[in-house]
Structure 1
Amino acid sequence: MVTAAGELRFRFRLLGDFRLIDEADGRDHSPRSRKACALLAHLALEPDRRASRDRLVGLLWSDRGEVQARASLRQALTDLRAHPAAPLIHIERRDLHLAEGGFSSDLGEILACAAANDLAGLARILDGAGSAILDGLEGLDRSFDDWLMIERQRWRERIVQDVLHAVERNGQNDLLDLRRAILTQLQRLDTGDERIARLGMALDQKAGDHVGLHRRYRQLETGLQRDLDARVSPDTERLLRELTTVGSVIAPAPRAAAVPAIATIPQANVEPPILVIAPFSLIGDGGPDGALLTSICHDDLQTALGGMRDLRILSVDAPSAERMKAAAPASIASYALDGSVRADGDGWRINLRMTRIDSGFLVWTRQLTVRQGELLAAIDDLVARIAGAILPVVERDVGKLMEGRVPSGSDAYPLYFTARAKILAAASLAEVQEGADLLERAILLEPRLTNAYLQLARLYNTDFMQLMAGHDAAPLRARAFDLCTRAVALEPTHGGVQSRLAWCYLRRGDMKQAMQGFMTALDLTPFHADGINEIGFGLVHLGEMKEAQRLIARAFELNPFPSDEYFSDLAVLYALSGEHEAAETQFEIGRNRSIHYLAVRGANLGMLGGAKRAAPVIDELRQRFASLWQGDTPARDTDLVDTMIQFLPLQGPAERSLFLTGLEQAGLRITPR
C-alpha cells in the first residue's frame, strides 16, 4: 500500500454489503465493527461527506444516555484512527469528514458512467453489485434504520433514472445486448420498477428473446407482489400482450376441409368447447388490400385453430346471435370470435374480440396494427398471435364455469372438466385418484372422448403426477400406453395424442418411436403453445438440446402468460446443458415445486456450489421423497436417485451423467446396489 497520504485511495462498495477496498492492491479493509462500517457509510453518502459528532451519536447510539453514547463514539473513532485509511478520515473536534479525492464509490461510478454514456462501464459495475444499498447494516439503531430507508429510496430512484436515460439515449443496434444486460442488472436493484421492466421487455422483443421477455415480466410480477403487495399495472400487461407471440416459424398444418353449413351439422353426443369464427368486417375504405387482409385472416385462423382438437371450430357467414347459439347447443362452453379492420395511416388497425355466446360476456380482446409494406409478412404473425392466445383463454374460462358444479353421472364432458379441475387443485395422491376415477367414468360414458384418454395417460405415465414411489410402475405404464393407442385410433391427427404416445415410448426407452411421435405432434400443432412446450421438454429427455431450446422458446412466443412449468422446463434444459447459473435463474422464477424439478435443481446447485449450497434443496427433496415412498424398507438415497431417473427418463448419456454427478456433488449418497 502506498504510504503517502496524498496517494492513498479507497473505494466504497455501497451496493450490496458494505466494503472498503484499497484501490492499490484490492484488499478489503472494511472495519470489523458494524457500527464503524455504518459510520463510514453515512459519511460516504452525505453530499459533502461530512457529519457532526452530534449527528453520529443520534444516528448510531440514540437508545443510550448521552455520556454512554459519546463514549461509544470515541471508541469507534479510536478504532478508525488505527485504520489503513486513517490519513484520509479527518476527525475533528466537532465533526468528521472524508478527504476530498481520497474515496470513490460504486454509486458515484454508476452516475458518472451514465452521464458519460459509458454502457460498458455501467454493465461492469452493475454486474458486481448487490441488490440493496448497504445490505446487512439494518438493525443497528432505529434512527439509522430510518435514515437508511430514506437513503435507499433516494439513491435507488436516482440510479434507476440516470441509468434508464443512458440506456434510452444509446439506441444503436450493436449495443442492444449490452443495454439488455444493464436493464437485467438494474432490475435486481429495483424489481418492482415497471419502467425498467417495460424498457427491458421492449428490447428483449427487439432482440427476438421471448424467453427473456417473459422472465423479465415474471420478475417484475414477483417483485411487486413480494415488496408492495401490488399487481402489475394494466399498461405493462398491455405492453406484454403487444410484444409477445410473434410470427410463425413452424409451417402451419394442412388446410382443414370446408365446414358444412350450420343447419346441416349433425349433433354429436360429446361437444368440446366450440369457437365460432365470424367474418372480419372492413370499416371504411380499406381498399383491396384491406379486403384481402380481412379474408386471409379469417381463412387462416380457421386452418390454424382447426389443428387444435381441444376446440371445435365452426364458421358462420351470418353471425346473428340466434345462428351462433344454434351452432353449439350441446357444448360445455361456446364462444364467438370476430374482428374488424380499419384503415390507419399507412396500414390497418385490427380489433379482435371473443365473447361467450350464451351471455355475451367479453372474455378476450386485442388490438393489432399492420403496416402497408408488411402486409404479407404480417399475416402469419397475426394468426400466431391470435391462435396462441385463444386456447389458454378458453381453458381458464371453462375452468371458472365448472367451479362448484356437481356433474351429472351421465354427462361425460362435464365429468371430464371437473376431473381436470380436481387434478389441477389436488394436494394428495388420493385427490388425484379421485380425478382419475372421474376420467375413467367419462370414458365409459363416452368412449370417443379423446382428451379424457390423454389426461388419464398422463396420470398413469407419471405415477399419478409423481405422487408415489417404491411401487411397481409397469402396470401404470402399460395402462398409459393402452390409453394412448386407443386415442390414436380415435384421432390419429390429434397433436396431443401423438405427443402423449411419444412420452409413453420415451419412458419405454424407444428413442426412435419417441422422436417420430414428437415430430408428428409438432406438425399437427403449429400454434399450440402448451403442446410445443411439452414436445420441447420431451426432446430434452432425448438429448436433442438445441431443438428442444428452440421449441421451448417458441412456446414462450405463442403464450402471452406462460405458466410456471415453462420456466421450470427451461431451467432443466439449462441445467442439463451445463448452463448452471441460467438454470438457477429460471428455477427461481418458475416456482414449480414438483419433485422432479426439485431434484434437477438440487443437482444444478451441486454443480454450482457443492453440497453446502445445495443442502436446503436436498433436505427438502429427501423429506418430500420420504412422503411418497411406498416401499417395505425406509427409503435410501439410492432409492431416491433411481426414482428420479424413472420420473425423468433421460435417454441422452451426457445429460444423465451430468444429472447423476450433480446429485452426488449435492450430497446424495449414491451407492451401487
Structure 2
Amino acid sequence: MTAGEPPFRFRLLGDFRLIDDMDGIDCTPRSRKSCAILAYLALEPDRRASRERLVGLLWSDRGEEQARASLRQALTELRNHPSAPAIRIERRDLHLIEERFSSDIGRLLHCAAASDLTALAQALDGAGGPILDGLEGLDRSFDDWLFVERQRWRERIVQDVLNAVEYAGKPADLDVCRNILTALQRLDTGDERIARLGMALDQRAGDHAALHRRYRQLEAGLRRDLDAPISSDTERLFRELTTVGPVAVRTANTPAQPSSAPFTRPGVEPPILVISPFTLIGDGGADGALLTGICHDDLQTALGCMRDLRVLSVEAPSAERMKAATSASIASYALDGSVRADGDGWRINLRMTRIDSGFLVWTRQLTVRQAELMPAIDDLVARIAGAILPVVERDVGRLMEGSTPCESSAYPLYFAARTTLLGATSLADVRAGADLLERAIVQDSRLINAYLQLARLYNTDFMQLMAGHDPAPLRARAFDLCTHAVALEPTHGGVQSRLAWCYLRRGDVRQAMQGFMAALDMTPFHADGLNEIGFGLIHLGAMDDAHRLIARAFELNPFPSDEYFSDLAVFFALAGDHDAAEGQFEIGRNPSIHYLAVRAANLAMLGRKAEAQALVEQLRTRFHAIWQGTQPPRDGDLVTTILQFLPLQGARERSLLLDGLERAGLHVSPD
C-alpha cells in the first residue's frame, strides 16, 4: 500500500472479502449478515443505507422487534471490527467513509474509463467469479436484490471493458486487448459480445488457434450455464473469420456511426413474446405434468391481457419458425422453462432470450412445494407475468438508444419517445417526447400506448414541469385522448386507469373509483399498472387497498423504479407512519416536485424541522424554475400547485399534508 491509498479494500468479484491493505490481512467479518451489510453499502452509489432498508433486506421474514434486534447485533460486530473507524453508524442509517475504502470493481472500472489497458488486464486477471459469491440464501429479499445487482454490475463491467478495448487503436495494444477479453470471458462465459470481439482480434493477430478456442469456450459455457446454443449471428461471424478473411473491428481510427443514424430495424409491430411449452425433466409424475401444463396455459392467459406486447404460443419452436413469425416486430423474445422434481416439490427454471441474437435478457429459478401446489402456481404465474413486461421495456429501450426513429413506422416513434422521456431532464425534453408520441398517433391512429403516454404527460403538466399556467387545455386534451383510447380498447386496463386519473383531477370521485376498480380487474399482473392504481387510491382515501396494490407491484416487478419507492413513501407519510415514509424517500429519491413537498411535510412531522426547512427552500427554488406566471410566485401559489399535482380527496390526508407543510415553514393559505 502506498501513501494516500484507502486502507481497506473490498473484494466483490467472487467470494466477498475485506482486506486490510496496510498489512494485507483478510479481516472479513465472521457473520455472513455483517458481510452482507458491508457488501450492500459497497455497491450502493452513495455508500449509505437506512436501518429500515437493511432490516427489510436481511430479516424480512422476522417480526419487527426481532429483526431490529438482529440488526443491532450485526452492528455491534461492525463497531468492534478493525474497519470500524471507517464505518459511520448513526441512529437512522449507516454509511462508509468513501476515502477509506476501495474495491476491485472500482479499480476495474477506473482502469477501463482511463483506457489503461495494462492495469485493466491486471485488474481482470485477479477477478473471481460471480459478484458476492457465497452470500446467497441469507434472506429472500437479499437474494432478489443480489440477483438484480449481479446482472446490473456484470453488464456495466462488460460494457465498460468492451468500450475500452474496442477503441484501442494502437497495434501494440492488440495482445493486451486479447488478454483482457480472455479474462472477461471467464467472468461472463455466456456473453457473445465478448467472444465476438475477441475472435475478431484473434483473427487480426493471425492466431486462428486462439480464435477456435474462444469459440469453443463460448459454446461450452452457453451449454453448461444456460443450456443454450450459440446464436446464428455469432456462428456467421465465426464462419466469416475462419473462411473469408479479416473482418474490420472499429477502433479509434475507424470511427463509429454517428449516434443520430436512422433507426433501420424493419419492425413496425409491438414486441412479440413466443411462449414454448415447459419441459418436464425426469420423473415428475402426474403433478409435475400438471404443473408444466397449467404454468404454460395460465401464462398465455395472463400475458395475453397486456397490450404492450403480442404473445404467440409455438408448440415446436425452431429458430427459422420463430424468426419468420416475429420478423415484423420491433423486438422479439422467446420464453421457455423446465420443471424438475426436487425433493417434496419442483424446481422451475425460466429463461427469456432475444430471438434475433439469442442473448439472454432474463432468467429466474423458482421452487414449488407439493403441499402448496395450487396456490403456488397462481403466485408463480403472477410473478413471471409481472416480470416480463419490465424486462422487455428495459431491453427495447437499450436497443433504441442513440437511434433516430423511422418516420414511416409508429412503433419506432413510440419507443423512441419512451427512451426520450425516461432520460428527460427538462421541459424541452418532455415536449420532444410528446412530439414523437403525437407523430406516432398520426402514423397509427390505433396505437393505444401512445395515447396513454400522451394523456399522462398532459394530465400532469408535462410531468410536473409547469406551474402558474391555465391547465384546462392540457387536461381537456388528456381527457380526449383517454376517451378515444376507451373507444378503441374498452377492456384495456391501462386505458381505464388513465381515464380514472383524468376524473380524479376533475374531482369526480365516483367515476375515478369506478375506473380504478375496472382497471384492476383487467390488469391483475401488470406491475406498473397496479402501482398507478394504488397511487390513485391514496388520493381517494382508500389507504388499505392502496398499500396492498403498491406492495403487490413490488412483488411482481424485478426492476422497480424510483417512482415505486416514492409512491410508497407518500402512502406512509399520509398514513402517519413518518419513519417508514422517510426510509422510502431515502431509497426512492425521485426528484419530482410533489414528492419533494410530501417529504418536507413528513420531515416536519418527524420533528426534524431544520431538515424540513432546508427542503422547503429547495422546493421554493424548484417551484420558481417551473413557474409560468407573470407575477413572482408566493408560498400560496406553491401550495395550490402541489394540491393540483396531488389531488387528495380525503379530508384527513389533505389536512395532514397542509399541516406538515406549514410546520416545515411554508405559508399555507386557507382553502
Question: Is the shorter-chain TM-score for this pair beyond 0.5, marking a shared fold?
Answer: yes
| Pairing 1:312–2:310 present | yes
Structure 1 residues 444 and 577: CA distance shift in structure 2, 3 A: same
- 1:146-189: CA deviation from partner (whole Å, max 9, x where unpaired): x9x99xx989878976999xxxxxxx999743321224556777
In 2: Cα distance, 1:282 partner to 1:158 partner = 39
- The equivalent residue for 2:335 is 337
Aligned ranges for residues 257-656 of structure 1 at < 5 Å? Answer: 271-609=269-607, 611-656=609-654
In 1: Cα distance, 2:490 partner to 2:97 partner = 45
CA contact (8 A) 1:453 1:484 kept: yes
What's the CA shift for 1:553?
A: 1.1
Structure 1 residues 235 and 558: CA distance shift in structure 2, 3 A: farther
Structure 1 residues 570 and 290: CA distance shift in structure 2, 3 A: same
In 2: Cα distance, 1:155 partner to 1:459 partner = 50
Structure 1 residues 358 and 225: CA distance shift in structure 2, 3 A: farther
In 1: Cα distance, 2:94 partner to 2:339 partner = 34
- 1:368-414: CA deviation from partner (whole Å, max 9, x where unpaired): 22223332232112212211211111111000110111111111100
CA contact (8 A) 1:192 1:224 kept: no
- The equivalent residue for 2:65 is 178
CA contact (8 A) 1:192 1:220 kept: no
Structure 1 residues 489 and 175: CA distance shift in structure 2, 3 A: closer
The residue type equivalent to 1:409 in the other structure is E
In 2: Cα distance, 1:191 partner to 1:161 partner = 7
The residue type equivalent to 2:68 in the other structure is A
What's the CA shift for 1:606?
A: 1.8
TM-score (ref. length: structure 1) = 0.65
Q: 5+ residue gaps in structure 1?
A: 1-146, 165-171, 194-218, 246-267
Tell me the SS of whatever aligns to 1:336: strand
What's the CA shift for 1:480?
A: 0.3
Structure 1 residues 475 and 183: CA distance shift in structure 2, 3 A: farther
What's the CA shift for 1:562?
A: 1.8
- 1:104-140: CA deviation from partner (whole Å, max 9, x where unpaired): xxxxxxxxxxxxxxxxxxxxxxxxxxxxxxxxxxxxx
Which of 95, 112, 132 pairs up with 1:233? Answer: 132
Q: 5+ residue gaps in structure 2?
A: 1-19, 38-58, 81-92, 107-130, 146-265
CA contact (8 A) 1:156 1:189 kept: no
What's the CA shift for 1:348?
A: 2.0
The residue type equivalent to 1:540 in the other structure is I
In 2: Cα distance, 1:330 partner to 1:445 partner = 16
What's the CA shift for 1:192?
A: 13
Tell me the SS of whatever aligns to 1:369: strand
In 2: Cα distance, 1:163 partner to 1:173 partner = 14
TM-score (ref. length: structure 2) = 0.65
CA contact (8 A) 2:60 2:67 kept: no
CA contact (8 A) 1:610 1:665 kept: no
Of 440-449 and 355-364, deviating more is 355-364
CA contact (8 A) 1:244 1:558 kept: no
Of 228-237 and 488-497, deviating more is 228-237
- 1:410-431: CA deviation from partner (whole Å, max 9, x where unpaired): 1110000001110111111011
What's the CA shift for 1:626?
A: 0.4
CA contact (8 A) 1:192 1:227 kept: no
CA-based RMSD of the aligned residues comes to 3.6
- The equivalent residue for 1:659 is 657
CA contact (8 A) 1:429 1:464 kept: yes
CA contact (8 A) 2:340 2:348 kept: yes
The residue type equivalent to 1:597 in the other structure is Y
Which of 648, 666, 670 pairs up with 1:668? Answer: 666
Structure 1 residues 463 and 561: CA distance shift in structure 2, 3 A: same
In 2: Cα distance, 1:517 partner to 1:657 partner = 26
Aligned ranges for residues 187-206 of structure 1 at < 5 Å? Answer: none
- The equivalent residue for 1:112 is none
Structure 1 residues 456 and 175: CA distance shift in structure 2, 3 A: closer
- The equivalent residue for 2:259 is none
CA contact (8 A) 1:270 1:449 kept: no
Structure 1 residues 309 and 663: CA distance shift in structure 2, 3 A: same
In 2: Cα distance, 1:225 partner to 1:314 partner = 53
- 1:522-566: CA deviation from partner (whole Å, max 9, x where unpaired): 111111111111111000011111111111111111123322111
In 2: Cα distance, 1:671 partner to 1:596 partner = 18
Give the number of equivalent residue pairs.
472
The residue type equivalent to 2:664 in the other structure is A
In 1: Cα distance, 2:97 partner to 2:507 partner = 42
In 2: Cα distance, 1:173 partner to 1:310 partner = 33
Structure 1 residues 237 and 432: CA distance shift in structure 2, 3 A: farther
The residue type equivalent to 2:588 in the other structure is G
CA contact (8 A) 1:505 1:513 kept: yes
In 1: Cα distance, 2:563 partner to 2:99 partner = 20
Structure 1 residues 160 and 430: CA distance shift in structure 2, 3 A: closer
- 1:468-517: CA deviation from partner (whole Å, max 9, x where unpaired): 11000000000000001111111111111111111001000001111111
What's the CA shift for 1:220?
A: 10
- 1:614-656: CA deviation from partner (whole Å, max 9, x where unpaired): 1111010000000001111111111101111111111111111
In 1: Cα distance, 2:586 partner to 2:78 partner = 14
CA contact (8 A) 1:273 1:332 kept: yes
In 2: Cα distance, 1:517 partner to 1:362 partner = 38
- 1:10-69: CA deviation from partner (whole Å, max 9, x where unpaired): xxxxxxxxxxxxxxxxxxxxxxxxxxxxxxxxxxxxxxxxxxxxxxxxxxxxxxxxxxxx
In 1: Cα distance, 2:99 partner to 2:562 partner = 16
In 2: Cα distance, 1:436 partner to 1:469 partner = 18
Tell me the SS of whatever aligns to 2:607: helix
The residue type equivalent to 1:275 in the other structure is L
What's the CA shift for 1:442?
A: 0.3
Structure 1 residues 297 and 473: CA distance shift in structure 2, 3 A: same
In 2: Cα distance, 1:590 partner to 1:649 partner = 21
CA contact (8 A) 1:332 1:413 kept: yes
The residue type equivalent to 1:288 in the other structure is A
In 2: Cα distance, 1:452 partner to 1:609 partner = 44
CA contact (8 A) 1:241 1:560 kept: no
The residue type equivalent to 1:298 in the other structure is H
Tell me the SS of whatever aligns to 1:609: coil
CA contact (8 A) 1:499 1:517 kept: yes
In 1: Cα distance, 2:509 partner to 2:79 partner = 45
Tell me the SS of whatever aligns to 1:340: strand
